[in-house]
Every structure is written in structure tokens, then in C-alpha cells.
A and B are shown apart, each in its own frame.
Chain A
Amino acid sequence: MDSRAPALTFPASLLRDKRVIVCCGAGGVGKTTTAAALGLAAASKGRRVLVLTIDPARRLAEAMGIPASGPKPAAVPEDRLRQGKISGKLDAWMLDPKVVFEGMVLRLADSPERAAAILENRIYRALSDLVAGMQEYTAAEALYSFVESGNYDLVVLDTPPSRNALEFLEAPRKLSLFLDEKIIGVFLPSKGGGGLFWGRARQLVTNIFGRIFGEGFFEEIQGFLSAFSGMFTAMRGHSESVRKLLLSDASAFIVVTSPDPSAMVEGTFLEEKLREMGLPFAGYVLNRSWAYTRGLVHPREIPRPANITAIGESALVKLAGLADEELRLAERDRELLAKLRDKGGSAVATPQLDASIEDFGGLLYLAESLARPSAVEDATVL
């Protein structure tokens, strides 16, 4: 790279270079909105971007002009992209675990009959009705299929809140451990073979699971696993690929946090955990911060009209009290930003908006503040 060119700083450089950006963070910090804004910022650089979110966020979907739920990613309409002078392409999908899993079964099963047998299975149907637990498996699977499809330059993934985010990171590994044929083999009806050790393990499993699951149900589980067993090799292959992809240079993990103390604790926890797992942690986004005060006028300095009433004056005095509060928060948030930079290397703040993001304009504003090189940003707006 030309050393004289102004280096793009976090997160702008990621938006240009990476194939996967994963947003993690405590719940309620605006993670989904940040993921959408990052996607928008990357699309404005001409990339083909997919934002994959896990938490259904109806208002965000409205702001982006896409359906809140659907069977596949939807494109953000042209007129909105033009409004933001966005040259790239932006799709978004509120991930539906049921759809992802069904798609996988249909793709991977040996035959349509086999796929139908799985989808009709009583255990499968009960499981796929549960949102809980399935999200983590399917997020990894969806990530795999969209990266593989070649339709996108970048996939921005919004993870389930907080510690569950780690659940998602572990999901591919957990799944591949579980799908280890030796392990699954223990649960399947014996075909002989497998050696003495596995023979004993199988006996133990049959004995114990026969007892605890009750009459008949263990056979049902075996039936379920047998129906799936042809797909396990492929599924394990996918989960290994996702793991490799997430560990590679092509991916970046961003921890989104807010100034709230408990969100900060969770954020730090996530950073440590990501580093521990060898995942490429790229930096922090301090969302909804009050750190931006440049250009704001303090109510004490607002010129009073000649005819101001006593009530008007006392209203301004009280507003000045709120302004002082805001200044204290600004100072706190700048300290937090400095602390995050000391720790994590890279951190950027996004502004507290007038209200929560209500429309595409608000999202664009956020995208611009994320795409700006942070050094410039600090000098001009903090």
C-alpha cells in the first residue's frame, strides 16, 4: 500500500477489505442497527453486501424498505439507495431458522423422498418450531451458504445478543463434534463393527437412553438420526468451512457496545473471549454515545428574545440543567472511548441521535459516521 495515502482506519478499512464482518455485543446496544449501517457504508463503496440479522427488528426493516420476514434476502429498494448515493448493492435478511434448515435439508438429502421423510419427522417438526437453539446452528449455515454463493462481496452478520453470541461462534464446532460419525454411530442401531470400545459405548448409550427417554422414544431418536445421517458429512464440512472462514483474515469481529456500564462489561468479556478463541477481533463501536458536542449551543448562551416570559426563562434554566448533564455524559463517553482504544486498539463512537433510528436518513447518518476515518472524525466532531 502507498504509505503516503491516508490510511483508512477502523472500521472503514474493514468495509473495503473483508468478506465477513460479525457484530457482537450485549443486547440493547443497537447491534442490529449498527450491522445495517455498516452494510450501508460498505455498499456506498460499491460493494455487494448482505446484512444478515438474527433478531427480527421490524422498524429497522421498515427503514430499509424490506419485509420484516421472508423466505430469502430482499434488496433495499433503488430509490433508497439513490437517496444515499449508494453505488453498490445492499440486501438484507431477517434470518428465519426454519427456512434455513429446511433449505439445507432439501439441498443435502440423498433424494427428495429422504428430504420429505426428514421434514415430516415428528422430532424434526417439534425442534424446528423452537426458535431457541436453532438460531445458532442456522446462523452459521446461512453464513456458509451466502458466502459460498458468490453473490456477495461482504456479509455483515448480526449475532444473537450477548453470551449467546459466543454460542453462535461455538455452534459450528459443537455441531461438528456432535456430528462426528463415531459419536452419532453410538446412537444408531448397530451394524456390527466399530471395535470393542464403541461396542461398549453403544451398549451404555442404549441402556441409559432407553431408560431415561422412555419406551419407544429412543427408537424414534435413532430413526431421526438415521434419516439425517447421510447429510452429516456435508453438514460437518460446512461447519468446518465456517469455522475456517471466521478464523481467517477474510473475517473481522466488531464488538458493539453502548456507554451503559453493563454493556461495557459484556463488551470487554466478548473481546477477551474472541481473542481467546483466536478469532480476528477488529475493534469496538461505542454506539449511542453522547461524546459528540461540537457545534451544540448551551442553553445559557442562547440569545433571549426581548419579550421572554419568566416561565420561558425558567424553562431555559432547567434545560441548562439537562445540558450540564449531557456535558458530563460527553466527558464520560470520551473517557470510555479512550479506554477502549487503549485496550482494543481501535474504537469509534457513533452519535446519540435525536430519537432512535426511525428512517433511512437516520441510518445513512450513522453509516456516514462509521465510514469516516476516526482520526478525522475526532478532530471535527467531538
Chain B
Amino acid sequence: MTASPLLDHLLARRTVLVTGKGGVGKTTVAAGLARAAAAKGKRTLCAEVSYEKSATSPLAQALGTSAFHEEPRVLGENLEGVLLTPHAGHLQFLRDSLPVRMLADAAMKSAAIRRFLLAAPTLPEMGILYRLLDLLRRKARDGSPLHEVIVLDLPATGHALGLAQIPSSIIEVIRSGPIHNAVREGLEMLRDPAQTTCVVVTLPETLPVSEAIELAHGVRKYEVPLAAVVLNRVPHDPFTVEERVALDGMQLEPMRTLGARRVPRIDRAKAAKLRLLDLQIPVRSVPELGLETDIAAAVATALEGGP
């Protein structure tokens, strides 16, 4: 393992994808990562996918604002937030690929074209990918990237792979032309270990870990670089080995004894971590905390630590 902390490894990339099944605290990890990046002095953009032009979301709330919008807005020092919408991506794409800007604007005004772009399968995802490319290309006055790091909280669906899977299908079906070229460029960006990396978030329970392992294999199948697994809400084990032996010897009924339902969770968490180590990438634990603790700071600490 390298000596450099995981956080530095992640923040040396332009795009950090945060993925995981729903309910695992993926958004919290994305927010924590974006905050940590900003605190390290990186010009950071925290992004999420949306089909609306502005939306309240758990991510916006985790970053202390009520809503995200289609254009980046400042959230704090070095930190901005944005919604990646298919609409913004399509518009930019049409402007970039049609000879006259007016034609692009006319196209986006056409109900037929707008509906087609939003309703035809895969075209919304293509728009989102193009929007990401567009934001990555933006430059500051001195020519350096406007946003050094984009932390992208991927949608919490069963098909979190969409971002890589769909482009691969698109370029197979559409074999030439501007869409093909744009999507291929996006895919190359997603697959370049110097530019992109991915973190899988999961919970220390049996089923979520199985799903995370499947997801990790999927990410690898589509050749997106995978940096680490973050195991969220890992319960603290208060017992010594001897105490556990003694406790197990008492054979208390879990459904009759207060507190006993919290013991098997500890065992499942340990087993979960062991299974994840098979992926041969760093597995970082974020401890389960009280209800009002600063989780973002805990995420940063977990990622900061050495190997």
C-alpha cells in the first residue's frame, strides 16, 4: 500500500464518483468528501444528478443550503454545488455540435426535440455526462481548471452503474457523429485513472455488503477506476473477547433483553469488513455516531488516515 493517505489520492483526480445503494449514507460521504476537499484548499464542486432545474435534496441540506441549481452556486470557501441536468447537457451539446448557436436554441425550444431528448432511453444520461464534461472544461482566469475537483454523488438506484454502462451502449449503437464522439470522450474521461476515481459506500450489514461487492465488480467491468470502499455507520464494540464469551454463555434472548439486539450488529459489521477486504482496495470505516455529531468531519477523518 502507498504511504500517501487515501484522501490525497482521491483529491488528485478531477472527478470523484461516490456510488452505493440507497440508504447507505452515500450522500453524507459525498458531502464529507467535498467539505474535506474544500478545507484542503481545492476548488471543489459538489454535484448531483437531477431532472429538475433546481431541487431541494439531502445533499444540498448536508452542505448547509436549501437547494441546488443548474448553474454552480457558492456554498462556502472553495466550495460550490450544482445539479447536473440532462437539459443543460443537451443544450451545451447542441451548441457545441451545431454550426449556429441559434439552431441549438431553436432545437431546445422545439417541444418535439425536448420531449425526445428526455423520453428516449439513454439520451438523458448522455446529457448528464456531457454536462459533467462541460463543467470539467471550464477554466479560471489563469487558465487553470475552474473547479479542481468535482465530487459527484451518483443517483441511489439499483443501476448506479448507469453513468458508465449507458455510454458504452450508446457508442455501440451510434457508431459515428457528434453524439458518438462526445460520449466516447466522456467514457475515456471516466476510465482514465489520472482523471477519475470512484468510491463505493455501504453499510456493515450482510445484504448491503453483498450489493456493494456486486457494485464494485460492475464498476470494474466498465473499467472505471475504483479507489476504496467506505463502510458507513460501523457500530462500536464495547466488549473484550472474554466479556463476549461470558455474555454469549448467558444465552440471553435477543427479543426479550434490552440491548441484546445491538450485539449481533457488531458481529455482522466485523464479518462485513472481512468480506470487503477481498476486493483488494482500502476499506475505511466511519464509526456510528450519535444523532447530532458532525458526520462530515468523521468521513474526512476516515479517509485521511493512512492505509
Contacts and interface: CB of A to CB of B under 8 A. Distances in A.
Nearest to A320: B259
Interface in A167-195: 167, 174-175, 177-178, 180, 182-183, 186-187
A27 B157 contact: yes
A6 interface: no
Nearest to B288: A325
Contacts of B116: 178, 183, 187
Contacts of B141: none
B243 to A, nearest CB: 4
SS class of chain B's interface: helix, strand, loop or mixed? helix
Contact of B98 (A122, A208, A318): A208
A70 interface: no
A260 to B, nearest CB: 7
12 contacts: A123-B173, A127-B121, A131-B158, A132-B162, A160-B157, A204-B110, A208-B98, A208-B107, A213-B178, A214-B175, A262-B23, A299-B258
Contact of B261 (A174, A314, A326): A326
B4 to A, nearest CB: 31
A54 B22 CA distance: 14
A131 B162 CA distance: 9
B262 interface: yes
B178 A299 contact: no
* Closest CB pairs A-B (n = 9): A27-B22, A214-B177, A28-B23, A323-B259, A178-B119, A322-B259, A161-B22, A315-B243, A323-B258
Contacts of B165: 130, 132
Interface string A85-111: 000000000000000000000000000
Given A160-B157, A326-B261, A130 B166 contact: yes
B27 interface: yes
Nearest to B56: A269
A133 B243 CA distance: 51
Given A27-B157, A204-B107, A354 B173 contact: no
Contacts of A261: 291
Given A26-B156, A187-B112, A214-B175, 8 more contacts: A132-B165, A164-B155, A201-B110, A212-B98, A217-B174, A298-B258, A299-B259, A318-B238
Contacts of A299: 252, 257-259
A322 B235 CA distance: 11
Interface string B112-126: 110110111110110
Contacts of B175: 214, 217
B177 to A, nearest CB: 2
Interface residues of B, number: 79
Nearest to A160: B157
B23 A355 contact: no
Given A161-B22, A258-B23, A315-B246, A352 B261 contact: yes
Interface of B: 21-25, 27-28, 51, 56, 58, 61, 93-94, 97-98, 103, 106-107, 110-113, 115-116, 118-122, 124-125, 155-159, 161-162, 165-166, 169, 172-180, 203, 205-208, 238-240, 242-244, 246-247, 249-250, 252, 254-264, 268, 291
B169 A314 contact: no
Contact of A215 (B25, B61, B162, B177): B177
A332 B291 CA distance: 10
A346 B239 CA distance: 40
Contacts of A167: 51
A132 B247 contact: no
B98 to A, nearest CB: 6
Interface string A123-144: 1001101111111010000000
A356 interface: yes
A319 B110 contact: no
A162 interface: yes
Contacts of B205: 356
B247 to A, nearest CB: 4
A183 B111 CA distance: 8
Contacts of A161: 21-23, 156-158
Contacts of B58: 262, 265-266
Contact of B268 (A163, A297, A355): A355
